[in-house]
Amino acid sequence: MIPSADTARAGMETLADTLSAERRLVELLLYRLMAARLFLAADERRFVPLALEEVEHVVAALRDAESQRLSATAAIADLFGLDVDKVTLAELADHAPEPLKAVFADHLRGFGELALEVEETAATNRRLATAALSSLQESLANLRGAGAGATYNADGRHQVAAPGAVRLDQVL
């Protein structure tokens, strides 16, 4: 059965609105990841957990938005008697009536750009976090006295020279 034009348009508008809300959340995710990156780059370790907690909140909201999008997509698939996997943004951008065609094309382009930015920012954050962890491990090793005086014994085990007096401000 072919749905009425009004019913089809209403379903597509609902999906377009759902996509707009989800896209806003992806933008918010990118913002939160960039904030975390700035804290990592500035070596402001005390704020990194807070920034990552905010990222987790946005990820949880994105999971909810994804569920809503899947429901809206399933409704479109039902209207047209299609398999839900056949209702893609690319298909909607190609076949939806105007102005929805332009809206779906914009979402297709926008989500693609955002996905790339999120991936790049997350990769940068991982590199910065790894560098910060290495720096922290080195600082802790210096506090324990490992480092310059550390050697390996005949068994191949790490042997630490007896630590001398170390000031915390010298290590950090």
Identify the domain containing residue 128 by its residue range.
5-171
Among candidate residues 95, 72, 90, the one with its CA nearest the CA of residue 21 = 72
Mean pLDDT of the chain: 84
169 has a pLDDT exceeding 50 = no
Task: Look up the pTM and report it.
Answer: 0.75
12 has a pLDDT exceeding 70 = yes
Mean pLDDT of 58-76: 96
Return d(Cα 112, Cα 75) in angstroms, integer. 24
**Number of domains observed in the structure of the chain:** 1
Higher pLDDT, 40 or 162: 40
Residue 130's pLDDT band (cuts 50, 70, 90) = confident
171 has a pLDDT exceeding 70 = no
Positive or negative torsion for Cα 107, 10, 66, 32: positive
Number of alpha carbons in the 13 Å side-chain half-sphere of residue 120:
7
pLDDT value of residue 166: 46
